Structure 1
Amino acid sequence: MTGTLSFHTINGDKQAFLPLIYEADPDPAMVGRYLDRGTLFVAYCGNEPACAAVVVHISPEECELKALATEERFRRRGIASAMIRHLAETFQGRYASILVGTAEPGVPFYEKSGFVRFRTLKGFFVENYPEPVYDGGFLCRDMICLRKTL
């Protein structure tokens, strides 16, 4: 990693981070459903945005990580894992748990970060996205829902 990693809550122009958010969720309509009501966090490596996460309030007990994406040149450096730790620290005491939904390729990352599977939404990506969604060449069909106790 080059430079210092710092985390910022973005209260202003969230639209500036759309290209990065679309790396995690490629459907502008889907992103539009949660971006404005969510809290956007950006990890900067030096002065460059390296990773973005959007978290929304679900209930007094739960929040949900709707998008987590790292710029390609910053991947495999632990930045997304650091973002998960930052989110856990930020929301500990405010929520009992944080949820995330991902396709099968994302499950090992989240499990390594302390998330546990609790549900599978069969056909979610096929039924809710206008175009096929791929993750590293894998055609996404089912959404795996995971929970991390805070």
Structure 2
Amino acid sequence: MTCILSFRIITGDKRPFLPLILCADPEEAVVEQYLDQGTLVAAYCGKVPACVAVVIPVSADQCELKALATAEEFRHRGIASAMIRFLSEHFRGKYLSIIVGTAEPAVSFYEQAGFIRFRTDPGFFTRTYSEPIYDGDFLCRDMIYLRKDL
């Protein structure tokens, strides 16, 4: 199924997107800590949200991608990569860089999108979440931070 993507900044109620956001960040209490302070962007395939991203300000010159999630039926079609390109363009001029924290399985995705590793927070996932977090079969322990200049 081919679709033409359209990107929308969600300015109203963000709660309808919570189930998709929870695919990337599975603990609702953690998501609620940043959802309303961030910019929610949705990539639509027709009328269906295919991918969402939440970006929050970190400082005057840096923002952080807190969540990036693609609906299961739209995965492996380049939509998350298109979202990264959209975010880079959208936030260029507002910030100098964007950072993201992720587990080891997703590092290569971000590196291919132009991000560079700069820090690791050992034990982050076990400290922050009440239940173990898995990415596929991989038990997430350490948060790996990457940065991309905008």
TM (normalized to structure 1)? 0.99
Deviation at 1:137, TM superposition (A): 1.2
Secondary structure of 2:98's aligned partner: strand
Instruction: Specify the alignment match of 1:41 in structure 2.
Output: 41
Write out the 4+ residue segments of structure 1 that deviate beyond 4 Å after TM superposition. none
Q: Which runs of 5+ in 1 are unaligned?
A: none
1:30-89 per-residue CA deviation (whole Å, 9 max, x = no partner) reads 101100000100000111100000000010110000000000000000000000000000
C-alpha contact 1:52 1:68 (8 A) present in aligned 2: yes
Any residues of structure 2 matched to 1:62-81 within 5 Å, and which?
62-81=62-81
Q: Decide which moves more: 25-34 or 1-10.
A: 1-10
C-alpha contact 1:27 1:129 (8 A) present in aligned 2: yes
Q: Percent identity?
A: 66
Instruction: Specify the alignment match of 1:140 in structure 2.
Output: 140
Deviation at 1:115, TM superposition (A): 0.2
Instruction: Specify the alignment match of 2:103 in structure 1.
Output: 103
Distance in 2 between residues matched to 1:4 and 1:12, nearest whole Å: 23
Distance in 1 between residues matched to 2:75 and 2:63, nearest whole Å: 25
Instruction: Specify the alignment match of 1:126 in structure 2.
Output: 126
Instruction: Specify the alignment match of 1:61 in structure 2.
Output: 61
Instruction: Specify the alignment match of 2:112 in structure 1.
Output: 112
Deviation at 1:13, TM superposition (A): 1.4
Distance in 1 between residues matched to 2:149 and 2:89, nearest whole Å: 11
Read off the aligned partner of 1:16 and give its amino acid letter.
Answer: P
C-alpha contact 1:2 1:46 (8 A) present in aligned 2: no
Secondary structure of 2:77's aligned partner: coil
How many aligned positions are there? 150
Secondary structure of 1:25's aligned partner: coil
Distance in 2 between residues matched to 1:73 and 1:6, nearest whole Å: 17
Q: Which runs of 5+ in 2 are unaligned?
A: none
Deviation at 1:3, TM superposition (A): 2.4
Instruction: Specify the alignment match of 1:51 in structure 2.
Output: 51
1:77-116 per-residue CA deviation (whole Å, 9 max, x = no partner) reads 0000000000000010110100000000010000000000
Instruction: Specify the alignment match of 1:6 in structure 2.
Output: 6
The Cα RMSD (Å) is 0.6
Deviation at 1:2, TM superposition (A): 2.5
